[in-house]
Amino acid sequence: MTQIRAGITAVHGYVPEGVMSNHDLEKLVETNDEWIVSRTGIKERRILEGEGKGCSVMVIEAVRGLIEKSGIAPNDIDLLIVATVTGDRVFPDTANIARHHLGITSGFGFDINAACSGFLYALSVGAQFVETGKYQNVVVVGADKMSSILDYQDRTTCILFGDGAGAVLLQPKTDGTGLMDFELLSDGKGEEFLYQKAGGSCYPATVETVQAREHFVRQDGRTVFKAAVNGMVSSVETVMGRNQLTQEDITWLVPHQANQRIISTVANMAKVPMDKVMMVIEKYGNTTAGTLPLCLWEYESQLKSGDKIIFTAFGGGYTWGASYLIWS
């Protein structure tokens, strides 16, 4: 029997109109454009503005574009998975809020919380439903409104992140394209190095948690930097080795966009030349679960059927991994 694989057959993205440049940040914290560009590669990031506008606003725009591009009807979507750490509410999940506004009345949806590796995890989860033959149309979204959990008094974190969403359509493929392999890993020891202290069941919101600024992202940047490089390189090597892929075989490396120095170190250690590496960090910063699909969206015109793509990500948890996909 021919093996069914989950192919990406459409991609779309959405970034909000509001642009926050490094010069804008200079007015908020003790920083400067030169430091941010040289240490991270980021020049600007997008910010979703407007009271009451949550992550679902971006999910809806990205999925709506995907529906238009692919020609499927909303109710053709069997499953919508949203990877995010900045869902509209603690519950219900953002996937179902988005499904309602998109007019999807059949099937189901759920969120995945794996921070910057969220899209990587969600892609593999969504693919399982396609590979079994159960579903024909699975939409996987990576989206985060990071500006909602950033402390614009903390220069070590607020300069890094931005808002954005990317969506892909997974459909069954029997032509040798699709998701070929993945290596997903996690290690809870990362909790203390990248986290949001309050807002969950340990420390629900109180006047004190708000006053102590505990509802914002905190990160030990240097520790996470090293862990990110090691985690991404080892998982890329595992996936490449298992699939007998050489550097020449790879058409694109799609790495999580946290820091240009991390990206170039990973590419260098995996011996992938930089002209094969997708990069959107300069204009979007780190959009957490949004980075990988936003890369695909930006490079869409350069993608050809048969391209061999390696995705890799690392994020809070720790969560990390790599996957290998042949473009449909």
Q: Which residues are catalytic?
A: 116, 256, 286
Which two three-digit tokens encode residue 48? 């979703």
Least CB distance from residue 76 to ligand UT7, whole Å?
A: 33
Closest CA to 168 of 103, 87, 72, 263: 72
Q: Which is nearer to ligand UT7, 110 or 152 (CB)?
A: 152
Least CB distance from residue 5 to ligand UT7, whole Å?
A: 29
Least CB distance from residue 116 to ligand UT7, whole Å?
A: 4
Least CB distance from residue 223 to ligand UT7, whole Å?
A: 8
Q: How far is CA 73 from the centre of its chain?
A: 25
Q: Report CA-CA distances (Å) from 22 to 27, 151, 155, 165.
A: 9, 15, 11, 21
Q: Which is nearer to ligand UT7, 116 or 240 (CB)?
A: 116
**Whole-angstrom distance, CA of residue 240 vs CA of residue 247:** 9
Name the helix (H) or strand (E) containing 142.
Answer: strand 138-145
Q: Which is nearer to ligand UT7, 312 or 328 (CB)?
A: 312
Q: Which is nearer to ligand UT7, 7 or 315 (CB)?
A: 315
Which two three-digit tokens encode residue 284? 């979007």
**Whole-angstrom distance, CA of residue 287 vs CA of residue 13:** 12
Q: Which is nearer to ligand UT7, 43 or 100 (CB)?
A: 43
Q: Which DSSP category does 156 fall into? A: H
**Whole-angstrom distance, CA of residue 68 vs CA of residue 74:** 10
Place of tokens 């042949």: 326
Cα torsion 124, 126, 128, 130 to 10°: value is -130
Q: Which is nearer to ligand UT7, 259 or 312 (CB)?
A: 259
- Sort 191 into a burial class: Cβ within 10 Å, 0-12 / 13-18 / 19+: exposed
Beta-carbon contacts of residue 296 (< 8 Å; ≥ 6 apart): 8, 11, 13, 166, 168, 254, 278, 303
Least CB distance from residue 21 to ligand UT7, whole Å?
A: 14
Q: Which is nearer to ligand UT7, 135 or 314 (CB)?
A: 314
Q: Which residues are at the interface with ligand UT7 (CB under 6 A)? A: 31, 35-36, 39-40, 116, 155-156, 159, 221-222, 224-225, 228, 258-259, 262, 286, 314-315
Closest CA to 287 of 60, 9, 45, 31: 45
Beta-carbon contacts of residue 152 (< 8 Å; ≥ 6 apart): 28, 29, 158
Least CB distance from residue 264 to ligand UT7, whole Å?
A: 12
* Residue closest to ligand UT7 when measured from CB atoms: 221
- Sort 13 into a burial class: Cβ within 10 Å, 0-12 / 13-18 / 19+: buried
Least CB distance from residue 87 to ligand UT7, whole Å?
A: 18
